[in-house]
Amino acid sequence: MGFEGKHKLEELPLLIIKSMYLALHRIEMYGIEHSVSKQSIKATIKLIRELFEYAPSFTLSRLGEEMLFDKTPLERTYFTDRFVKDFDDFGIHSITFHRKMTDDEFISFLKFLVRTPGKKLERYDIDVYLDELRITSIEVDRVKYVAVTGDVDEQREAEKMLADILSRHPDVIERFLGKAEQSDVIDDDIISQFMSGVSLDTEEYDAVSILNAIVKESGLMDKDDEELSETDKELKRLFEIIQEKLSEERKKEFLDKVEKITDEITTKGDVTSELLEKEFTLTELSWMQSVNELFQQAIQNEWGPQIEYQFRSFLERLFARGEPDKAIAISEQLFDLYDSTGAYWVVDAMKDVIEEAYNTGDDSIFLALLGDMLNKKETSSPDIPHFGIITAALVFFASLLLVARKYSAIYRILLTYDKLVGKDPTISVITDFETFITGLSSPENIQHLLSSIGDGLSSYDLQLQEIVKKMDGEVLTQIIIDELGSRKPSFVATAANILKTHEITAKKYIEKYVNDIERLQRSDSGYMMNTEQLRRTMSIFSLAIRLDKEFALPLIIKASSDRDIRVKKHLFFLLMYYSVEQVGDIIEALFLESSTEFQSEVIENIVSKPTPVKDYYLRELFLHFPKLRIKILQSLRSFKNEYVKKFLLDILDQWIIYIDPLPEPAFRKLLKALIRDFDAFSDDHEVRKALKRFRSEWKTEGIVKESFSTFSRRKDEIMEAV
């Protein structure tokens, strides 16, 4: 059985170029391990394998502005144009793929070709890379094809195109020739007869030239045999006019109709050829005309919900075919409209184009449109009217890219602006860049950024860091501080990472917030924080510590007199981030001077969520403040965990230390409270053993007195040991 591929040989080269281009851009956007990238790579390899069934190897090369498949020029499309540009950037002429190529070799080759921001690939790099990986089934510049050229009989070519279009409508040609019967086959004699019958003496109105122009301008060469649009019907009527003996008046009518058809098919005369070169079908051109009519309505009646709804409906259908050219063509039409009319609704229409391209879910459309915008921004003069509209469009792109977490694409925009400012640091260019940054830093976009990150940021993307660095620090800080009131505590780490690039600004706003809270507490004795204010206040001190511990310390000490016990408790534990030498006395004073309720909550927090630092301070308080010992033991009674057990065992093991300087009734009370705390652990073998040892030491009052006397004489030595 022979090979039964899904595609014809002549279809595969363009499909491979398109698929390979999309694979490269998806690797650039998502990384090579992402499922989207893997799927795109797999599709490309499948097409290449399919072509290998036809030939053992093939070569893609460039010749001027054209791509060649082996020696055959390929039809120009958006993707071939991008390949020509990439080939030119790399300084290469051809890539040859051999049937023995493995998937790993192809993937390695793609990885190398992926554009890295800030790095330019050189021709030499490719040779070194292929050599190092010993890739022999993919060769660069093994062959360099030259297209076959020669003199072309343009008249003959025109006749061939006309013959092609007419051969698809035998009923029309039969009617033109005045024959009763219809034929399914049009031979050369009939074509010649028709040609001779319609040719005019006056060269200015040469029918063949005009019909040839219609064929080119209308894109009928792309129309399927069964299609018959209104434009086709109009062409038939034109043929009928030509068949007649044209008077000067009818000649004028003929030319007027040609102009009318051209106007209907295209949006503007200078855009027509470009659209048709990109192979728009008549259906798509009809949609383009409908879009143009909507634009004319908007010029007369302003942009409204009804027009916008119709416009988006057209865009959805137009983009459904997955070709980037449509989006680019619409955007160019909008730019031209703005240049000629100055209508500011063009900005809203451009946003619709970008959003619909995004909504297709096809990166090829969305990223191609972005690439076209960046190219326009880089190559256009700042003096053209729509230069600012491109900026507004790029801001909207950035907004959607933030939602999609495609930070590398936003980074590309910033690199383009950096390049522009570096090349032409004029006031207009710098102002335009500032306008983009202002738009990028809008509250809405910052909200998009924070939403895409979430409450936790495990790793801070370097490209994201560069984006944040460019943003307006004041707007960013204000919004993040506001967000602290509604986010989880884990968001503080994310906020600190983001604001590290704007640390000076962030410190200024943190200090202002703390001072405002203190002033509010002083001026309003009945002031009470709500839940959101409380969360924000507690988080802002945590944020200050993450940004700069030394900066945060005086703010924490200053705020430690806060009336709200919840804030005070939070600050108490934040102080534990500092060394004992710095804050030991402050922590002890804060604990001793606070209410019983505060002390209980602190002890419960330490016991329920113990850390080495918290444990240290609890033991210090228990050791140095005898009046607190009973209270601490009573608070521990509510908990049964390993930390409490160990704490009690350590106290029991060193019980002789803790009875000083208590009088006998007081230390008996302390020891009873300590023993009572062990009730929760009465079944624990380690606890039973410790209690037995304690009883043996507590046999007589004399032993207690002797132990007390020993402690008094060797107090410093024992304390040091403890």
Ranges of beta strands (E only) in 241-361 are: none
Q: CA 541, 543, 544 angle in degrees (round to 5)?
A: 65
Report the pLDDT value the prediction gives residue 55, as an integer from 0 to 100: 84
- Give the tokens for residue 460: 């801070």
Find the range with the poorest average confidence among 221-230, 250-259, 559-568, 587-596.
221-230
Report the pLDDT value the prediction gives residue 194, as an integer from 0 to 100: 45
Average pLDDT of the residues in 91-108: 86
Average pLDDT of the residues in 55-71: 85
Average pLDDT of the residues in 447-467: 73
Mean pLDDT taken over the chain:
73
**Which residue would you say has higher pLDDT here, 477 or 343?**
477
87 C-beta neighbours (distance < 10 Å), count: 17
pLDDT at 150 over 70: no
Q: What is the spatial distance between Cα 134 and Cα 508, in angstroms, rounded to a whole number?
A: 57
- Cβ contact 266:218 at 8 Å: no
Count Cα neighbours of 692 within 13 Å in the Cβ-side half-sphere. Answer: 7
Report the pLDDT value the prediction gives residue 142, as an integer from 0 to 100: 58
Report the pLDDT value the prediction gives residue 219, as an integer from 0 to 100: 45
Report the pLDDT value the prediction gives residue 45, as an integer from 0 to 100: 93
Distance of CA 194 to the CA centre of its chain: 59
Report the pLDDT value the prediction gives residue 394, as an integer from 0 to 100: 92
Grade residue 80 by pLDDT with cuts at 50, 70 and 90.
confident
Q: What is the spatial distance between Cα 406 and Cα 401, in angstroms, rounded to a whole number?
A: 5
Grade residue 21 by pLDDT with cuts at 50, 70 and 90.
confident
**pLDDT per residue as tens digits for the range 510-546:** 999 988 887 776 665 556 678 888 888 889 999 999 9
- Nearest CA to 676 out of 657, 648, 696, 699 is that of 648
Report the pLDDT value the prediction gives residue 44, as an integer from 0 to 100: 93
Report the pLDDT value the prediction gives residue 191, as an integer from 0 to 100: 44
Burial 626-663 (b: 16+ CB within 10 A, else e): bebbebbbebbeebeeebbbebbbebbeebbbbbeebe
Report the pLDDT value the prediction gives residue 694, as an integer from 0 to 100: 77
Q: What is the spatial distance between Cα 542 and Cα 535, in angstroms, rounded to a whole number?
A: 11
Report the pLDDT value the prediction gives residue 638, as an integer from 0 to 100: 82
- Give the tokens for residue 328: 């680019």
**pLDDT per residue as tens digits for the range 332-371:** 888 888 888 888 888 899 999 898 888 877 777 888 888 8
Report the pLDDT value the prediction gives residue 310, as an integer from 0 to 100: 83
**pLDDT per residue as tens digits for the range 263-294:** 443 333 334 344 434 444 545 555 566 677 78
**Which residue would you say has higher pLDDT here, 452 or 110?**
110
Q: What is the spatial distance between Cα 252 and Cα 167, in angstroms, rounded to a whole number?
A: 27
Report the pLDDT value the prediction gives residue 121, as an integer from 0 to 100: 54
Q: What is the DSSP letter of 74?
A: P
Report the pLDDT value the prediction gives residue 271, as an integer from 0 to 100: 41
Q: What is the pTM of this model?
A: 0.53
Report the pLDDT value the prediction gives residue 619, as an integer from 0 to 100: 84
Q: Which of 205-214, 406-415, 587-596 has the highest mean pLDDT?
A: 406-415
**Which residue would you say has higher pLDDT here, 623 or 437?**
437
Q: Which residue pairs, CB below 8 angstroms and at least 24 apart, start in 336-344?
A: 336/268, 336/271, 337/295, 337/299, 338/385, 338/386, 338/389, 339/384, 339/385, 339/386, 341/299, 342/385, 343/298, 343/299, 343/303
Domain boundary assignment for the chain: 12-140, 154-265, 269-440, 625-722
- Share of residues in the chain with pLDDT > 90 (%): 6
Q: What does 413-448 look like in DSSP terms, one character per residue?
A: HHHHHHHHHHH---HHHHHHHHHHHHHHTSHHHHHH
